[in-house]
Structure 1
């Protein structure tokens, strides 16, 4: 990995395995002089183990010589929550997510959060869930 300070850093959200020269990838990288096809190939290979189409926050560091470094982050928390939330037939028009799923999301997101303590990561995830209007089911009750 290059330790020199990059000339430019871009933040993009790209579907796993689906990077191509169309927007947002092509225009963003093209104006910086990066080889777009090389980037797309590298990104798709880097994300081939992730479910195709999953949105991946990506940081692209571009050097003065137009070389680049790709860093991916974990899938956005809201995407993971939506994927795991369920309709609750007992309470119509209410979505819920099981506590075990909250814990699983926290374990996935731990490397991107500002904590290394799982309990604090769970609290962070629960805060996001609450703002989305989804309830957390723990045993027989909802939070």
Structure 2
């Protein structure tokens, strides 16, 4: 379709503009970008210099904990240069990490995957407030969103939580 439009514009003596800017969304572990599959081929077919991308990504994420999955948006320009926006780890990942749960509950209303305190919720909200999609949200609203996601994962949110209580109390939803 785009080639037909470009052909018609060329016959009319007008320049054809690009129909879209290539855009790629990938999740890359912090400080572990490598030109190997699956990242290398995805970037290579778009014409990006893969070693340069990996070097820049690892430099930008060097201060983060190795291996944390970071959603990354990559915009590719016509001259094969790129710009990337690195987001914070997904909320579900941070909740499961704080709860010490390898995965969420299979039946969130009936079983519990773990427990976190309101302090954990606030710490996760501080991390997530750095994301550009939450710019206009208050910390209270971000905390409400995180508590809602805890419910959907089957993670209980309690006011206070000490290690002994966590070890000996069964999780009740």
Structure 1 spans left out of the alignment, 5+ residues:
1-5
- Paired residues in the alignment total 133
- With the length of structure 2 as denominator, give the TM-score of the two structures: 0.71
Aligned to 1:96: 115
Deviation at 1:28, TM superposition (A): 1.1
For residues 1-143 of structure 1, what are the structure 2 equivalents within 5 Å?
A: 7-86=21-100, 95-112=114-131, 113-114=133-134, 115-139=136-160
Task: Tell me how far apart the structure 2 counterparts of residues 66 and 17 of structure 1 sit (CA, whole Å).
Answer: 23
2:29 touches 2:67 (CA, 8 Å); kept in 1?
A: yes
Deviation at 1:86, TM superposition (A): 4.5
Task: Tell me how far apart the structure 1 counterparts of residues 86 and 100 of structure 2 sit (CA, whole Å).
Answer: 28
Deviation at 1:60, TM superposition (A): 0.7
Structure 2 spans left out of the alignment, 5+ residues:
1-19, 102-110, 162-171
Larger radius of gyration: 2
Deviation at 1:94, TM superposition (A): 5.1
Aligned to 2:105: none
Task: Tell me how far apart the structure 1 counterparts of residues 100 and 126 of structure 2 sit (CA, whole Å).
Answer: 20
The two structures, once aligned, show a CA RMSD in angstroms of 2.1
Task: Tell me how far apart the structure 2 counterparts of residues 71 and 56 of structure 1 sit (CA, whole Å).
Answer: 10
Structure 1 residue ranges (4+ consecutive) displaced by more than 4 angstroms after TM superposition: none
Task: Tell me how far apart the structure 1 counterparts of residues 85 and 96 of structure 2 sit (CA, whole Å).
Answer: 24
1:85 touches 1:95 (CA, 8 Å); kept in 2?
A: yes
What secondary structure is seen at the aligned counterpart in 1 of 2:129? helix
